[in-house]
A and B are shown apart, each in its own frame.
Chain A
Amino acid sequence: ELKVEQNPLFLSMQEGKNYTIYCNYSTTSDRLYWYRQDPGKSLESLFVLLSNGAVKQEGRLMASLDTKARLSTLHITAAVHDLSATYFCAAPVKYNNNDMRFGAGTRLTVKP
C-alpha cells in the first residue's frame, strides 16, 4: 500500500529564512502534487510534478521530484508571513490513476 510521509510536521521559521519540506513515498509513482491549505479553507493546488527531475517554481516556493529516490521537496526561500499555511504532498495510488494518497501535512508558521 502506498504510504506518503512528510517531514517536518510542524515548522516555525523566521521571515527571511530558507527551509525545505520533504515528502517521501513508498512505491513507484509517476506524479507528485503539492497543495496548500489555509485554516478553514480548501486545498489549493501549488505544483504538479510529472517526471523525474521535474522542478517547478512559483514565487518563493520551489518543488522538485526525484522518482528514483521517491522523494519530493518543497523549498521555501526568504520566507514571508503570507506563506504560513499547511502544505500537503500527495501521490497517485496507481499509474495513470487519479486516486491520491496524502501526506499528513506540514504546518508552517512564519514569524516576523
Chain B
Amino acid sequence: EAGVTQFPSHSVIEKGQTVTLRCDPISGHDNLYWYRRVMGKEIKFLLHFVKESKQDESGMPNNRFLAERTGGTYSTLKVQPAELEDSGVYFCASSPSFFQETQYFGPGTRLLVL
C-alpha cells in the first residue's frame, strides 16, 4: 500500500511568488491534515479536511494560505504571495476515520522563501 506522498519535496522561491504544495493521502483515507514546522519551532497544525470539507482550519496563519481538497482525494496548499516567514517544512498526514488511532505522515515539502 502506498503511503502519503507529497510534491514537491523541495521548493525555493522568492518573496512575493506563489507556491502550491500537493498531498496525496493514502487511498481511502477520509481525513487529511496539513502541518508545518518552521525552523527551530514545533510542528504546528494548519488544517483538517474530512473528505472535501474543511473540518478545522484554525491553524491557518493568514489569508495568504489557501487549502483545497478536490473531490476528497488529493489536497493542495497554496501560498500567495509567499513571505520569508513561510519557510519551513510542510507535512501532510492522513487517517482513515474520524477517531482513528494514528495519522500517517508524508515526507514533507521543504519550502525556502528568499
Contacts and interface: CB of A to CB of B under 8 A. Distances in A.
Interface residues of B, number: 26
B43 A42 contact: no
Contacts of A88: 43
Interface size class of A (residues with CB under 8 A): 20 to 34
A43 B33 contact: no
B22 interface: no
Interface stretch (A15-23, A60-68, A73-81, A101-109): A101-109
A90 B106 CA distance: 17
Q: Which of B33, B42, B45, B103 has the most CB of A within 10 A?
A: B42
Given A98-B31, A98-B33, A98-B99, A45 B104 contact: yes
B105 A99 contact: no
B33 to A, nearest CB: 7
Contacts, number: 51
A89 to B, nearest CB: 11
A12 B37 CA distance: 23
A96 B99 contact: yes
A33 interface: yes
Interface in B56-114: 56, 59, 91, 93, 95, 98-108
A75 B49 CA distance: 34
Nearest to B108: A42
B105 A48 contact: no
A7 B17 CA distance: 38
Given A99-B48, A100-B45, A102-B43, A42 B105 contact: yes
Interface of A: 4, 33, 35, 41-45, 48, 50, 88, 90, 93, 96, 98-105
12 contacts: A33-B102, A41-B107, A42-B4, A42-B107, A43-B91, A45-B104, A96-B99, A98-B31, A98-B103, A100-B103, A104-B41, A104-B42
Interface of B: 4, 31, 33, 35, 41-45, 48, 56, 59, 91, 93, 95, 98-108
Closest 8 CB pairs of A and B: A102-B43, A43-B105, A45-B102, A104-B42, A42-B105, A42-B107, A48-B101, A102-B42
